[in-house]
Amino acid sequence: MDSKLIPISEIFYSIQGEGKYSGNLSVFIRVGGCNLTCPGFGKNGCDSFYAVDKKYKNEWQYLSIDEIKDKIKKYLKFSPNLVITGGEPGLYFDRLYPLVEWFSGNITIETNATIAPDFKKYPEFKKVSFAMSVKLSNSGEEYKKRVKKQAIKTIAKNAKKSFFKFVINADLKEEIEEITKNIDLPIYCMPLGESKEELEKNAPFVFDFCLKNGYRYSDRIHIRLFGKKRGI
């Protein structure tokens, strides 16, 4: 495979349903592949399991930056945000960089923050909002695999529009404080849930958790409306 090609699970136009830019028109580019599995998040792990589980690899397309640009140009009429998600985009920071250079609007990269880009080599990453969804113990991943302090600090220092986004279903305040200590970025908490029913079960707790601890609440609009349906 050409080393410049990027595995793409899907590209679609929708509305951002989580975090800092919730409600904004957005073009989503979902890469395939991840360095975590998160077995604690239901039977499929990630809510975008088809972009993580390698058994879906035959559904991914391997595209060049120019091919990706061609696919998203038709969605740019309303000047949407660009969201690069996954899977884990950090696996392909060097390959994605020309896309970040090219796109003139707001860019969010949704990442588990275990990998940081080289900001000196690729300075345009500084304009990106990194949605750092660092995994907590409820993900089922071991700490040393899911929390990379240096990567988190590097992103926070260089990309000032970034924010934290945690998925919770229990009081994980100590874990959140340990991860975000001495980093002055907004903290969003979202309810764990791979279905509308599970989301609604956990949402009241997360709402109160945010009130008690001074965090920002984020719903998960797509799961609430569509479950795990793709391309929305």
More confident residue, 198 or 154: 154
pLDDT tens track for 80-126: 999 999 999 999 999 999 999 999 999 999 999 999 999 999 999 99
Q: Give the SS3 label for residue 160.
A: coil
pLDDT of residue 47: 72
Q: Is the CB of residue 170 less than 8 Å from the CB of residue 148?
A: no
Confidence tier at 174 by pLDDT (50, 70, 90): very high
Per-residue DSSP letter, 135: -
Neighbouring C-alpha atoms within 13 Å toward the C-beta of 59 = 16
In the chain, the percentage of residues whose pLDDT exceeds 70 is 97
For the record, the structure tokens of 91 come out as 């696996």
More confident residue, 65 or 230: 65
To the question of domain 6-226 being in CATH 3.30.300.10, the answer is no
pLDDT of residue 44: 63
pLDDT tens track for 19-51: 999 999 999 999 999 999 888 776 666 778 888
Confidence tier at 232 by pLDDT (50, 70, 90): confident
Beta bridge partners of 2: none
Mean predicted lDDT score pLDDT of the chain: 94
Q: Is the CB of residue 138 less than 8 Å from the CB of residue 172?
A: yes
For the record, the structure tokens of 38 come out as 């998160």
pLDDT for 13 beyond 60:
yes
pLDDT for 196 beyond 70:
yes
What is the mean predicted confidence (pLDDT) over 158-180?
A: 96
Q: Beta strand 163-168 with 6-15: parallel, antiparallel or unpaired? A: unpaired
**Residue 194 to residues 8, 19, 115, 142, 188: CA-CA distances in angstroms?**
22, 17, 25, 21, 18
**Secondary structure tally for the chain: helices H, strands E:** 7, 9
Q: Is the CB of residue 151 less than 8 Å from the CB of residue 113?
A: yes
pLDDT of residue 195: 86
Q: How many CB atoms lie within 10 A of CB 94?
A: 13
Q: Beta strand 25-31 with 81-85: parallel, antiparallel or unpaired? A: parallel
pLDDT of residue 2: 65
pLDDT of residue 224: 87
CA proximity to 11, closest of 98, 86, 77? 86
Predicted TM-score (pTM) of this structure: 0.94
pLDDT of residue 52: 85
pLDDT of residue 92: 98
pLDDT of residue 42: 67
pLDDT tens track for 212-223: 999 999 999 988
Q: Is the CB of residue 100 less than 8 Å from the CB of residue 29?
A: no
CA proximity to 197, closest of 228, 158, 160, 166? 228
